Amino acid sequence: MKNKALKRLIFGLLALPVCFSLFSFTIITPAKNDTVVNKGFKLKTIIVDAGHGGAPTGTGHFSHGASGSFSTERGVTLAIALKLQKAIEKELNKVKVVLTRSTEDDVSWERRSEIANENRGDLFISLHCNSLSDRVVREVVGHKHGRAIYKSVRVPNRSGKGVLLLVYGLHRTREEEKAISKNQLEGSEGEGEGAEMNAGLDPNDPESIILINQYKSKFRQRSIHLANLINTEFTETDGRQSEGIREQGVLVLCHSAMPAVLVETGYINNPDDEAYLNSEKGQDEIVSTLVRALKNYKDEVEQVVK
């Protein structure tokens, strides 16, 4: 190989165990820890994404997300994101947090990914609130000629409760490959895990293709591992109910060229969860949970794990 730095990094990445899930939209089993990590790698930048938002001034577009009886997803996620930014920068030494939005205004998913990639993020955390669609049931509304007359009606489904962690589905890997190619190979400027490839490499070159695939495997493994760390903190430390970890085709995750996890912090259309999500206690507990998991993740990726 012409590029010795590339060769060393490929061999280093090849030593990483590859973790693949067999099914989409299913609970994922815990991934093994990295046994080898990039020498000298430091977790420097975390992207915190507050899901959804209101209509920017002068536009007709907005995506407030799910709604509860007195609150919206856009408001809850922003409140938690702002608290999480402060907590991470206080508790995690020399880690910078970049918010994809810091106001009520909405930001498109494309721009959210761009912000993550432009800032050379090492990790992407997207905050959301879950909700269940109304159920359709049939009710008797009268009788005619001795027979019941039925009508289909929509009934709110407030049975959902607890947290859910999402990672991108395998059917989105081509989109992630493009993001990695652009941001880890073409866009390296001396920082982040792609710094050694700042040599004008061709993404269509076999060497680069090998490297892209190894980044993809590593990012997926680390995404699943972080999701497991977060889920463990929620369930074992906080005692919260969890639906586990699932794959979904979340565009903002697969277009961010870094490990990425979406956290459904609770069901906003469940009265108990909504009250918790809007309380100072609930928001502070969620932030503390995420910070604990991130500390564990940082310790692991910055050193050899045996």
CA atoms within 13 A on the CB side of 98: 18
**pLDDT band at residue 171 using 50, 70 and 90 as cut-offs:** low
- Among 218, 258, 301, 219, residue whose Cα is nearest residue 39: 301
Cα–Cα distance measured from residue 55 to residue 77, given in angstroms and rounded to the nearest whole number: 16
Q: Is residue 147 part of a domain?
A: yes
pTM for this model (two decimals) = 0.78
Whether the pLDDT of residue 165 is over 70: the answer is yes
Q: Which domain holds residue 85?
A: 4-12+42-301
pLDDT at 154: 82
Task: Provide the percentage of residues in the chain whose pLDDT is more than 70.
Answer: 68
Residue predicted with more confidence, 36 or 223: 223
Residue predicted with more confidence, 86 or 145: 86
Strand pairing category for 45-50 and 96-99 = parallel
Least confident of 46-60, 219-233, 255-269: 46-60
**pLDDT band at residue 303 using 50, 70 and 90 as cut-offs:** confident
Domains identified in the chain, total number:
1
Q: List, in order, residues 6 or more apart from 67 with CB less than 8 Å away.
A: 73, 131, 268, 269
Q: Is residue 29 part of a domain?
A: no
pLDDT at 179: 60
Residue pair 50/105 in contact (Cβ under 8 Å)? The answer is no
- Among 177, 260, 265, residue whose Cα is nearest residue 226: 260
Whether the pLDDT of residue 158 is over 70: the answer is yes
Q: Is residue 98 part of a domain?
A: yes
Cα–Cα distance measured from residue 131 to residue 270, given in angstroms and rounded to the nearest whole number: 8
**pLDDT band at residue 169 using 50, 70 and 90 as cut-offs:** confident
Cα–Cα distance measured from residue 53 to residue 75, given in angstroms and rounded to the nearest whole number: 8
Whether the pLDDT of residue 36 is over 90: the answer is no
Cα–Cα distance measured from residue 78 to residue 84, given in angstroms and rounded to the nearest whole number: 10
Q: Is residue 24 part of a domain?
A: no
Q: Is residue 171 part of a domain?
A: yes
Residue predicted with more confidence, 119 or 151: 119
If residue 184 lies in a helix (H) or strand (E), which one and from where to where? none
Segment 193-247, tens digit of pLDDT: 444 433 445 656 667 666 667 777 888 899 999 999 999 999 999 999 999 999 8
pLDDT at 61: 52
Q: Is residue 198 part of a domain?
A: yes
pLDDT at 198: 38
Q: What is the CATH number of the domain that holds 199?
A: 3.40.630.40
Cβ atoms within 10 Å, residue 257: 30
Q: Where are the alpha helices (DSSP H) in the chain?
A: 4-14, 73-91, 109-118, 173-180, 206-232, 251-254, 271-278, 280-301
For range 55-82, the mean pLDDT: 80
C-alpha distances in Å from residue 117, one per residue of 28, 52, 237: 26, 19, 32
- Among 2, 95, 157, 54, residue whose Cα is nearest residue 297: 95
Q: Is residue 50 part of a domain?
A: yes
Percent helix, strand and coil across the chain, each to the nearest 5: 40, 20, 40
Q: Is residue 32 part of a domain?
A: no
